[in-house]
Chains A and B, each alone.
Chain A
Amino acid sequence: MEKLRYERPIIKKLNTGFVNKFGTQTKNEVVSHLEGASVKELIHQYGSPLFVISEKQIRRNFQHASRVFKTRYPKVQFAWSYKTNYLNAVCRVFHQEGSWAEVVSGFEYEKALGNGVPGNKIIFNGPDKTEEQLILAAQNNSLIHIDHFDELYMLIKVSEEFSLKPRVAIRVNMDTGIYPKWDRFGFNYENGQAWSAVTKIIHSGLLSLVGLHCHIGTFMLETAAYGIAATKLSELAHKIKANFGLAVQYLDLGGGFPSTNTLKGSYLPGTDTVPTIDQFADTISEAILGAGFDQEELPLLILETGRALVDDAGFLLGTVLANKRLSDGRSSTILDIGVNSLFTAFWYDHKVTPAQEGGQYTEETVLYGPLCMNIDIIRENISLPLLKRGDHVVVHKVGAYNMTQWMQFITLRPNILLLDQNSHPHVIRQAETLNYLQSGELVPEHLAKSSLS
């Protein structure tokens, strides 16, 4: 006689009042394949955990967002936010689609150049640009977004010394009705700081003011805030035109559109609560089109959208290491995926699905990572079928900020795979090795000889 498929024995209490014979049955979603590629096979070949990025999904996201904005506003340019995911392969997909680069550090700037982005299509943001970096950016005709007065004075100084005329914008912070206010970046609009920065730039005669920039927050759920931001930047542009006869060429509204992830603590899943990109586009384009620009002087709209374009193109595959019952009776499952690689587990209740068919029974469980520390929790509470050691899981929507903010801690960082448009796998970042990890380490001579035997 053939034996029955095994699953762990469980017993669950039913809520009185809702007792029926299917009391604990819920439909379990199983994700065994990603674009036709078997999760089991991928892990077998490339190891576990494993990041997988879908090129198709990135392009789909980009083309959708681009269409949504371009059907509402005549001049739109996206600039890929490098910090969101700066794997060269990922950046190059965005650049192939027509994205410029938006960078916030010297090495990101060099990465953009290395990815073939012409200097004049790189936006250099952030509060930390060195003198050398400013000179290089100016020589490359990049768009330098000035963050503070110290930077402004430094840029004026080097422009004079090296006879440069950099193209600049200022980053503006403002009250958009969002709390907490992001007022630590850029020049404040309401208190006149932004205006005095503009005045200083124009009076210097050394810098060419071409744009105005803001980035009002991230994972923004209020479309109205973008309407306010676009209106305030437009007002500032009008004031510049009226006082100095200068028409700024672009308004850069930054990033901040949410992905469909579920923020920790929110009651409803992100897919139900997050405004669509169409709603943001409506608000922004209405605000700028309604701001009274002359037709010929309508500014280019730049967007530095990050997570909304890449989050759902990333998956993290992993494996169950063990099951454990906690002292309070709750069940817990230990995965080989820790917060060191899944940094966004601190922000999101990520969707996690099993990669193989399980029984109809589910269990509330805590998902832990493999690290020896208490904060290593992937999900505090999730209902999953009964997983056993060796089973695989898929964590969804991990494309943004994980492959840049991950930490090398206790375990080495895993392979990253790109599934191309024909679903062919390409390793785009190799799993780290001990050699890689130690390649920068030096042992002083007096410690070179091992003293224990």
Chain B
Amino acid sequence: MKFKKNIATSDTGFVFNPGSGDSFSSNQIGTDIIACFKEDKSRQEIIELISDKYDVERNQLEKDLEDFLTQLREHNLLEE
């Protein structure tokens, strides 16, 4: 699981893939997670960081993180 290197992101949630020309919008928590990916944080670290910042149970977050990865994969934003 690795975010594609060439993808541009802004801290307002705007994501641009110069390879395909597609642009995306993510909510705040999605933006935070993407920022973690770009810093090569592990899944475990991401869960720690996010659950420190947001009011969420770990189980819920783990499940939703899995779903977010599916979305990123759907949008071709992850390295295979």
Contacts and interface: CB of A to CB of B under 8 A. Distances in A.
Partners in one complex: yes
B67 A3 contact: no
Given A10-B71, A325-B70, A329-B70, A4 B30 contact: no
Interface string B40-72: 000000000000111110001100110110111
A16 interface: yes
Contacts of B27: 7, 9-10, 359-361, 386
Tell me if A's interface is mostly helix, strand, loop or mixed.
Answer: loop
B24 A14 contact: yes
B21 A6 contact: no
A9 B24 contact: no
Nearest to B14: A21
A446 interface: no
Residue among B26, B29, B74 with the most chain A CB within 10 A?
B29
Given A13-B75, A21-B14, A8 B64 contact: yes
Interface residues of A, number: 25
A16 B25 contact: no
Interface residues of B, number: 32
A11 B54 contact: no
B25 A9 contact: no
Contacts of B61: 6
B68 to A, nearest CB: 4
A11 B53 contact: no
Contacts of A13: 22-24, 75
Interface string B3-42: 0000000001011000001111111111001100000000
B26 A10 contact: yes
A6 B64 CA distance: 11
Contacts of A323: 67
Given A3-B55, A9-B67, A10-B30, 19 more contacts: A3-B52, A5-B54, A6-B54, A6-B55, A6-B60, A8-B29, A9-B27, A9-B30, A9-B65, A11-B30, A11-B68, A11-B77, A13-B23, A14-B23, A16-B22, A325-B67, A325-B71, A329-B74, A359-B28
